[in-house]
């Protein structure tokens, strides 16, 4: 399938109800409103195609940008490519569920995520911490530095309540994910989650979200899911 065929198929798959949900979360036109599951048959046909992914991502159309992440070839993308993608990710569903997910399958994932976290910019920080969540939930514990992750937990503890709003959510998820998916720091993450307590994330034109990593970890303890790893990052 070429670019035109993909765009026509995405437009045909669009639903007004889904579009409204995406827009209520921050998507802006152009948006078709395609459910992610509806993209799977097309993704199976194409598999991966970086050139097509770049064409789709450049459209600014939310659905096309999402599908770009599905068919991208993560290890052919350079740090500069990921920087270019994050600059065009204008809201959290792109930064955290497209760019961060794609980056999580690349060998350069941690170094790029570290840079974004250090930037202090809301969506870059959000993508950086989200990338670590995808990584920790998929890769073996041995692929991470325990001391580095502990330092990151300490930084989150000290800064989360004053961080940019979307970064708060990703940081909270990071504490949860370390506590659930990285066994060597389970107890430390649990203790830090207790110290952090409830985090308020303010949202435009919506009620604030109250984030609680401790509750999240405790729920997974009850389900006996400590050490959980998923087989795949991308669907």
Domain count for the chain? 1
- 13 belongs to a structural domain: no
d(CA 212, CA 205): 22
Q: Report how far residue 34's alpha carbon sits from residue 31's, in angstroms, rounded to the nearest whole number.
A: 8
**Domain membership of residue 165 as a residue range:** 108-235
Predicted confidence (pLDDT) at residue 205 exceeds the cutoff of 90: no
- Angle 90-52-232 (CA atoms, 0-180°, nearest 5)? 75
* Segment 25-78, tens digit of pLDDT: 999 999 999 999 999 999 999 999 999 999 999 999 999 999 999 999 999 999
pTM of the shown model: 0.96
**Closest Cα to residue 117, out of 74, 153, 78, 63?**
153
Indicate whether 149 belongs to any domain.
Answer: yes
Q: What is the pLDDT of residues 124-153, one digit of tens each?
A: 999 999 999 999 999 999 999 999 999 999
- Examine residue 162 and state whether it is found in any structural domain, yes or no: yes
Judge whether residue 226 has pLDDT over 90: yes
79: number of Cβ within 10 Å = 13
CA 176 to chain centre: 14
Domain-located, residue 69: no
């Amino acid at each position: 399938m070429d670019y035109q065929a993909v765009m026509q198929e995405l437009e045909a798959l669009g639903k007004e109800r889904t579009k409204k949900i995406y827009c209520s979360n921050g998507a802006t036109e152009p948006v078709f409103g395609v459910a992610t599951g509806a993209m799977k048959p097309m993704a199976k046909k194409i598999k991966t195609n970086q050139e097509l992914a770049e064409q789709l991502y450049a459209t600014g159309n939310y659905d096309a940008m999402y599908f770009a992440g599905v068919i991208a070839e993560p290890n052919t993308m350079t740090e500069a490519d990921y920087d270019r993608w994050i600059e065009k990710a204008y809201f959290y569903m792109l930064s955290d569920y497209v760019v961060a997910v794609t980056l999580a399958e690349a060998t350069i994932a941690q170094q790029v995520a570290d840079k974004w976290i250090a930037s202090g910019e809301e969506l870059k920080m959000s993508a950086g911490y989200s990338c670590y969540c995808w990584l920790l939930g998929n890769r073996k514990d041995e692929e991470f530095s325990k001391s580095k992750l502990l330092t990151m937990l300490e930084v989150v503890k000290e800064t989360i309540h004053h961080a940019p709003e979307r970064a708060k959510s990703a940081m909270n998820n990071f504490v949860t994910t370390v506590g659930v998916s990285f066994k060597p720091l389970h107890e430390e993450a649990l203790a830090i989650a207790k110290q952090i307590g409830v985090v308020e994330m303010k949202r435009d034109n919506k009620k604030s979200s109250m984030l609680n990593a401790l509750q999240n970890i405790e729920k997974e303890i009850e389900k006996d899911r400590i050490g959980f790893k998923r087989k795949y990052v991308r669907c």
